[in-house]
A and B are shown apart, each in its own frame.
Chain A
Amino acid sequence: MFGFAIRRLLQAMIVMLVVALLAFTLFRFVGDPVNQMVGIETSIEEREALRERLGLNDPIPVQFFRFVTDAARFDFGTSYQFRQPVSDLFAKRIPATLELSFMSALFALVVGIPMGIYAGLNREAALSKLFLSVSLVGISLPTFFIGILLIFLFSVTLQWLPSFGRGEVVEVGSWWTTGFLTISGLKALVLPSITLGLYQMTLIMRLIRAEMLEVIRTDYIKFARARGLPDRIVNFRHALKNTMVPVITITGLQLGSIIAFATITETVFQWPGMGLMFLQAVQNVDIPIMAAYLLLTAFLFVAINFIVDILYFVIDPRLRIGRA
């Protein structure tokens, strides 16, 4: 297993290097960074001096090497719009996005898994059919539309929940801000989390249902029933655990996309997270932020995938022994 982990780690590093190359080429091909940084009246000499100081005249491999080593130390340069280090900007935004993603993933799992189990075990029940039809809505409606719908219902009509922002936040440690500790912060989390997590919840529910239906037909479930084991043990210890391997794969990947693609939800709810910042960066051609965002999301994906791979070993003994 150790060798396997090392191999996966190497593969992850290659992926990160390729993404870094992509991010780096952004600088080279999407407009001239010097043009973005200086005003119209800057003289050619001054531009040239800036170019030299930024190292833009060095050979490309040298520049790429510098980019990678800087990125490894979380130094992504200075934002063109804000004139602040990109890493500081991200540090301010990350807590908002992570808290939102965490809540929506939690929502998707806590609601999706039991629904999936229920629908898998009681295939013909009216409630299962209701789950399936409702989940169709979750899959087919676009996120922004669901967000607007929820705002209309709960913020405008019922006025229960706020329609934008994080509410009051509390500082924890030197840079983390959390909305978990205030009522308004928690209230503000509800709508965006549901909006962001609805699609994942549907997906997880349908996946678990399909896997459950599959597993329940296997011989070992029949044999477990023939041994007179109670339904609770058959359904949860035997059936559910065997459905988990594919579910973990998808859930892992989806978790990555929750974090990476929170952009739309953050825009709808004016959530002060990374996604919103990224959209503003695109509008203003703020390349350092775009590059950093690219690297960060790729890193999250790779890290989550790595964890998922390791989780397989924990769940499935066949892999554990086979590889050892």
Chain B
Amino acid sequence: MIYWQLFYTFFKIGLFGFGGGLAILSLIQMEVEQYGWMTQQEFVDIVAVSQVTPGPIGINCATYVGYTIGGFWGSVLTTSAIVLPSLIIMLSVCKAYFWLNNRFSGNPYFEQTLRMLRFTVIGLIASAALMLMKPTTFIDLISWIIFGAVAFFTILPQVYKNKVTETLSHPILLIVLSGIAGYMIYA
């Protein structure tokens, strides 16, 4: 039963996961919370681990959630389930590639739907961040200082672009520095 739930959930996430890894996070979060598979804190920890390990964030999350809930076979199942819709859809796209290219570029229905989905995806990612802004994640003032500093260094290269700001905006560097800060402050 739990295996069927895992498969069905991650198949759905793969099928509706428009806009790549970050947008998929809000889908995973909602499902995982609804089933009570893990706490919000555990979910944030998984996202943190996913961001500092190689590979697509969606695969990392699927594997981790699958292992936590259903052991080794759980992780095999969730990872396959999130890939399966892509296989079905992208293979159809490949088979119809030339037909699609002539038919869909410039088609107002297709182009406008994609354009509107981009704005929905922005909302999805915003909701993922908002749902994580809870006392379990933000325990004190220092949490907000870390949040502010990381947001500042991530946005900085867009305002003031040079080699130094680009290097400082690297997500892995920022996570490692936050981890060191956490160790020094809380341990």
Partners in one complex: no
B residues sitting closer than 8 Å to A (CB atoms) are: none
